[in-house]
Amino acid sequence: MSGDRKIQVVSFVTEQNWDSLEVFDGADNTVTMLGSFSGTTVPALLNSTSNQLYLHFYSDISVSAAGFHLEYKTVGLSSCPEPAVPSNGVKTGERYLVNDVVSFQCEPGYALQGHAHISCMPGTVRRWNYPPPLCIGKRTPTSPVHSNPCLPGSGTSHWDQVQIQRKFGIPGLLKGAHIQFLNFSTEPNHDFIEIRNGPYETSRMMGRFSGSELPSALLSTSHETTVYFHSDHSQNRPGFKLEYQGEDREGPSFPAS
């Protein structure tokens, strides 16, 4: 039976100190004791905070007294507040009374941060044992980008573009992209790359690199990063290889150079 238990004391007379009644707020004597009573002093009402009460009467049987007369009734339980549904997640369970369990899961591409199951706790104040979880965008796996070491042509300068134009993570949780060069070798001054913090040729330049010195790691602050490669086609070099990884606001930060 669901609901609190309310006990009304109609009469109570026991041998003082030798005959006593213990009342526990739950299913056994390991839970919170509401009180231990002897003699004629006892509150008019006793209220549990769950749907169970445990009564233990002890007597040394040396003196007979009138004993006690109790009546109980069930009163409605107040419910826990409705838990918030995480953005990009779903909630299962529509009952929020004591011991009811609500479950959560996230949509594809999101990881659950917190507890997948929460339970409404007994007590004088209804609350969940854990706060509702969050659904956090998963970090995009590292992806390699290669240059083409052999660019055919007549020797006329022109732009060849390799664009990283991809939305890392989930909009609203984005931090940008961490860019790491694995190798780098171009004709000094004539073949070079530009990395821009955005999708356009006019976006802020993060760096311009040429020659054989390996560039330092970069961190863009946009979910779109563009790599422009320029060659005059006069020499062939090994080119470059870089990796990029989307970063969300919960992820680690890297120094930009």
CATH at residue 57: 2.60.120.290
68 domain residue, yes or no: yes
Count how many residues are written for the chain.
Answer: 257
CATH of the domain at 98: 2.10.70.10
Instruction: Of 224, 221, 148, 226, give the one whose Cα is nearest residue 191.
Output: 148
Provide the b/e sequence for 69-90 (b: ≥16 CB within 10 Å): eeeeeeeebeebeebeebebbe
Half-sphere exposure of 101 (CA within 13 A, CB side): 5
Query: Environment class of residue 52 by beta-carbon count within 10 Å: exposed (0-12), middle (13-18) or buried (19+)?
Result: middle
C-alpha to C-alpha distance for 218 and 257, rounded to whole angstroms: 6
Would you say residue 22 lies in a domain? yes
Residue ranges making up the domain that contains 205: 164-247
pLDDT at 6 (0 to 100): 67
Name the CA radius of gyration of the chain, rounded.
35
Tell whether 57 and 127 lie within a shared domain. no
Amino acid at 246: G
Tokens 């006329």 found at: 156
Tell me 82's DSSP state. P
Q: How far is CA 182 from CA 3, 192, 247, in A?
A: 65, 16, 19
DSSP state of 16: T
Whether residue 144 is contained in a domain is answered as no
In this structure, the answer to whether residues 119 and 187 fall within a common structural domain is: no
The verdict on 103 and 47 lying in the same domain is no
Is 240 found in the same domain as 196?
Answer: yes
- Kindly state whether residues 62 and 122 are assigned to the same domain: no
The pTM score is 0.35
Burial class for 226, CB neighbours closer than 10 Å (0-12, 13-18, 19+): buried
Query: Does residue 155 lie in a domain region?
Result: no
Number of domains in the chain: 3
If asked whether residues 173 and 130 sit together in one domain, one would say: no
Do 183 and 219 sit in the same domain of this protein? yes
Task: Answer whether residue 257 is part of any domain.
Answer: no
- Shared domain for 49 and 109, answered yes or no, is no
Q: 34 with 69, same domain?
A: yes
Q: Give a yes or no: residue 146 inside a domain.
A: no
Query: Is residue 234 in some structural domain?
Result: yes
Please enumerate in sequence order all residues whose Cβ is within 8 A of that of 229, keeping only pairs 6 or more positions apart, or say none.
147, 159, 160, 161, 162, 191, 192, 193
Q: List per-block mean pLDDT (blocks of 10 residues) for the chain, which spans 257 residues.
A: 64 81 84 82 69 80 78 70 91 88 91 92 82 78 46 36 39 65 86 83 87 88 78 76 67 38
Q: Are 186 and 228 within one domain?
A: yes
Q: Same domain for 18 and 63?
A: yes
pLDDT at position 60, please? 78
